[in-house]
Structure 1
Amino acid sequence: MVQPMKRIVRNGKRILVPATEKVVDHKGYDKQRMRNEPERIRFYKSARWKKARELKLISNPLCEQCSTPDDPVLAEMVDHMIETNTSEGWERRLDEEHLQSLCWSCHNKKTFSK
């Protein structure tokens, strides 16, 4: 029996996955966040955040979770260790010690496991 498949975009590539695989709808997630958290969305679009993100990726270009000397993994995201929806996280949102460089996989595991 042939397993039903669906087409998705993952890491910028179109791929086929089993139809039963859970896929996160980032567009729907972003629309919901924009309605509920406009201040956070404005922050992530700000020049200050983009500069902090760029500096973090320059200073630490490898994933801080899964990268090893034998298997380096390039970081693609900068993540807040304490979520910005808490008062402490919001106050420290540009603090470099509060940021970590992550690959997409580690970022999604952390973000969508909650």
Structure 2
Amino acid sequence: MITIPMKVCSKINCNKLIDFRKTYCDEHKELQRESKVNYDSLRYERDSKYRGFYNKKEWKHARRSSMLRHDWLCQECLRNGLYTEADVVDHIIELRDDWDKRLDQSNLQPLCNACHNVKTIREKNKRKEKSN
């Protein structure tokens, strides 16, 4: 018989045990929908300029050029002696920091999802430290 791990509901001060794949107990499950709606609306307002940019033809052309120039290989893995296919093209200097470099090929690098996630977390932490 397989036992499913349990965890505590994410609602503050609710100690009900729930399936580890869920976030809230049945009593508080509406909070998950509410949280998602709030997050999506804030992100839409905050990032509308950037989201629009990624849908433009200029970005798609710059992205493809960068991938071709680097043979579709993750540049971070390559620096570590690994050959991994790139999934995304990353801005070395973030758009938020320098909008003018958004299409500059010297500011673009193909990365695999794993390397891109590590870089994103590192940059978020740096931003947090600067604001504190």
Q: What TM-score, normalized by structure 2, do the two folds share?
A: 0.59
- In structure 1, runs of 5+ residues without a counterpart are 6-18, 21-26
TM-superposition CA deviations, 1:30-87 (whole Å, max 9, x none)? 764322121111101111001110111111111110136963101111000111012x
- In structure 2, runs of 5+ residues without a counterpart are 7-19, 22-35, 125-132
Q: Which has the higher strand share?
A: 1
Q: Which has the higher helix share?
A: 2
- Report the counterpart of residue 35 of structure 1 in structure 2: 45
SS in 1 for 2:77: coil
- Report the counterpart of residue 5 of structure 2 in structure 1: 4
Indicate the structure (1 or 2) with the bigger Cα radius of gyration: 2
Q: Between the two proteins, what is the percent identity of the paired residues?
A: 38
- Report the counterpart of residue 98 of structure 1 in structure 2: 107
SS in 2 for 1:65: helix
Correspondence for 1:53 among 63, 67, 70: 63
Within 5 Å, which residues of 2 pair with 1:4-23? 4=5, 19=20
Counterpart of 2:52 in structure 1: which amino acid?
Answer: R
| CA gap 1:40/1:30 in 2 versus in 1, 3 angstroms | farther
What CA distance in whole angstroms lies between the structure 1 residues aligned with 2:77 and 2:44? Answer: 31
Q: Does 1:82 align with 2:93?
A: yes
What CA distance in whole angstroms lies between the structure 2 residues aligned with 1:109 and 1:30? Answer: 23
Q: Choose between structure 1 and 2 for higher RCO, CA contacts under 8 A separated by at least 6 residues.
A: 1
SS in 2 for 1:66: helix
* 4+ runs deviating over 6 angstroms: 27-30
Q: Does 1:73 align with 2:84?
A: yes
* Cα root mean square deviation, aligned: 2.9
Q: What TM-score, normalized by structure 1, do the two folds share?
A: 0.67
What CA distance in whole angstroms lies between the structure 2 residues aligned with 1:80 and 1:49? Answer: 11
